[in-house]
Amino acid sequence: MKTLQSFRARTGEALGAPLPATTPEQVDAAATAAGDAFAAWAASSGEQRATLLRGLAAALESDREGLVALADDETALGPVRLNGELDRTAFQLRRFADMAERGVAFAFTDDPAVPGAPPVGHPAMVRQCVPLGPVAMFSASNFPFAFSVLGGDTASALAAGCPVVVKAHSGHLHLSNRVFGLVQQVLAAQGLPAGLVGLIQGGGADVGVRLVRHPAIAAGAFTGSTRGGAALQAEASARPRPIPFYGELGSINPVVALPALLATKGAELAATLAGSIALGCGQFCTSPGVIVLIKGAESEAFVAQLHTALAAQNPHAMLTPGMRQAFDAGVEHLVHAGAQPLLREAGNAEAPRPFLAQVEAADFIAKDALREEVFGPSSVIVWADSVAQVLQVLHAVGGSLTVTLWGAETDSTDTRALVRGAMAIAGRVLFAGVPTGVAVTAAQQHGGPWPSSTQPMTTSVGDAAIDRFLRPVALQDAPVWLLAQQGRPV
């Protein structure tokens, strides 16, 4: 029997007893159980879905002390951050509960018949949505609550009427199992099938790939590396019946800082940006990995201020030894590609020191290696000669979860061009603040062009996340009894 070992992030010591890896047969059983639970859950009312989601939120909060302590052991993210993340996770669950209760998943468009010949005349049509089916959900390393067992993917899928099979992340195995235990208690208390939410764990084709390939699975949701997400997307597309795969992948999140603003707020912005680069040891999908500056005295002064502020940061241990090694390898890769280090200090085996480098815009545009994400407290300054070259830099990035534009408050030809350039490559454009931190709101868009996500039309955060797991259906000349359902399941 294969086993999995969890580790204390701060020391690398083994944490707890080894856990059994899910066998291929158990993967199949979890997917089959989700498939068996689908019909009844797809037909559930908004009130039933809301009751489950609120029960899951309450269960999380009831075990807060134990969950946060365990998460801190496995991730080193600290109790303040983890308590805040648990609050966000409960908030997400309750927000989707409210949406389910309001009937968001049952919204419909009524298009009455128009007499006469086409194209003006047409039969009566109603457009509504149905749930896709069981969802394979792959937990993220860096958000052990908000993008894990009861994270936004699970919450939005359940609100849409879809069962979920969660693939636990190896970086917080014991936490995932403890949360899953709470899930099973809530399901049992509400008389719901245990297969409505399943959990599998382990690596390789025996687990994650097998889950995506299982015929009962109707969609995939993933947060992680570009390489891992691309491999799973390929599996989802290669099935006899391909399924949608919603992957939130790598992103370098450019920050463009214009000279006029740096002249008046440079020191303040440098401190803010340094904190964002080092936040969570840089383990955010929205961490600012690229800073685009136009050459000049204001930008040079800003770099000096950023160097000082970043050197004063003390990132905590990374989530896993593998991520720590990958960070060092990524930094070395940037330097080998031609990035000139400005701040590079040795860290320890668990916690790295911040890394800052610089490169000419022409080199950044020409070399793919300079545009690769380094997961950790790292950022590269890109020196541009003009706004036109800044736009070339953004175009070279190609796709990003975010672009931040500092100094675009005044309407001009240049700022309009920068806004167009930013919107062309990003799912979210910021004009103040920093990209780390993604609000759960109605207007949020967390997803952008490749390589930041596999489906740039969708979001993995915010109210619209539910749309990923719903499929539109048109009902033509439907009988009166069916129309009376008002979009609700039959």
Amino acid code (one letter) for 129: C
Structure confidence at residue 155 as a pLDDT band (50, 70, 90): very high
**Side chain identity, residue 300:** E
CATH level 2 (architecture), domain 3-249+453-483 = 3-Layer(aba) Sandwich (3.40)
The least confident of 145-154, 312-321, 394-403 is 312-321
Range 254-430 classified under CATH 3.40.309.10 = yes
Sign of CA dihedral 137, 142, 144, 145: negative
Banded pLDDT at 139 (limits 50, 70, 90): very high
Tell me the backbone φ, ψ of residue 474, rounded to 5 degrees. Answer: -100, 130
Strands 400-406, 254-257: pairing is: parallel
Residue 128 is predicted with a pLDDT of 97
Q: What is the pLDDT of residues 423-477, one digit of tens each?
A: 999 999 999 999 998 999 999 999 999 999 999 999 999 999 999 999 999 999 9
pTM: 0.95
User: Which residue is listed with tokens 């600012």?
Assistant: 288
Cβ-based burial of 116 (10 A; exposed 0-12, middle 13-18, buried ≥19): exposed
Give CA torsion, residues 191, 192, 195, 197, to 10 deg.
-120
**pLDDT tens digits, 178-218:** 999 999 999 999 999 999 999 999 987 789 999 999 999 99
Interval 360-387 mean pLDDT = 97
Where are the CATH 3.40.605.10 domain residues in the chain?
3-249+453-483
Token representation of residue 112:
């009455």
pLDDT at 8 over 80: yes
What percentage of the chain reaches a pLDDT higher than 90?
96
Q: Which of 263, 255, 294 is nearest to 383 (CA)?
A: 294
Give residue 349's pLDDT.
78
Which one of the listed residues 129, 162, 281, 285 is annotated catalytic? 285
Q: What is the pLDDT of residue 298?
A: 98
* pLDDT confidence of residue 459: 97
335: exposed, middle or buried (C-beta count within 10 Å: 0-12, 13-18, 19+)? middle
- CA–CA dist 443, 462 (Å, integer): 7
Q: Please write the tens of the pLDDT for every residue from 242-258.
A: 999 999 998 999 999 99
Cβ–Cβ under 8 Å, residues 413 and 383: no
Identified catalytic residue from 101, 235, 248, 350: 248
CA distance 239 to 468: 19
By percentage, how much of the chain surpasses pLDDT 70? 100
User: Which of 64, 40, 63 has its CA nearest to residue 52?
Assistant: 40
347 — pLDDT class (breaks 50, 70, 90): confident
What CA–CA distances, in Å, run from 8 to 14, 188, 274, 328, 351? 6, 32, 27, 20, 13
Q: Which of 455, 142, 442 is nearest to 287 (CA)?
A: 142
For residues 169 and 176, the answer to whether their CB atoms sit within 8 Å is yes
Neighbouring C-beta atoms of residue 325, cutoff 10 Å: 12
Taking CA atoms, 397 is separated from 26, 106, 255, 402, 422, in Å, by 41, 38, 12, 11, 10
What is the residue-averaged pLDDT of the chain? 96
The residues, ordered by sequence, that sit 6+ positions from 7 with a Cβ below 8 Å of its Cβ are: 13, 14, 15, 74, 320, 321
Span(s) in the chain for CATH 3.40.309.10: 254-430
pLDDT in tens, 9-58: 998 899 999 999 999 999 999 999 999 999 999 999 999 999 999 999 99
Residue 1 — very low, low, confident or very high, per pLDDT cuts 50/70/90? confident
* Number of alpha carbons in the 13 Å side-chain half-sphere of residue 156: 28
Catalytic: 248?
yes
Nearby residues of 65 by Cβ (< 8 Å), 6 or more positions away: none
Mean pLDDT across 362-379: 96
pLDDT at 123 (0 to 100): 97
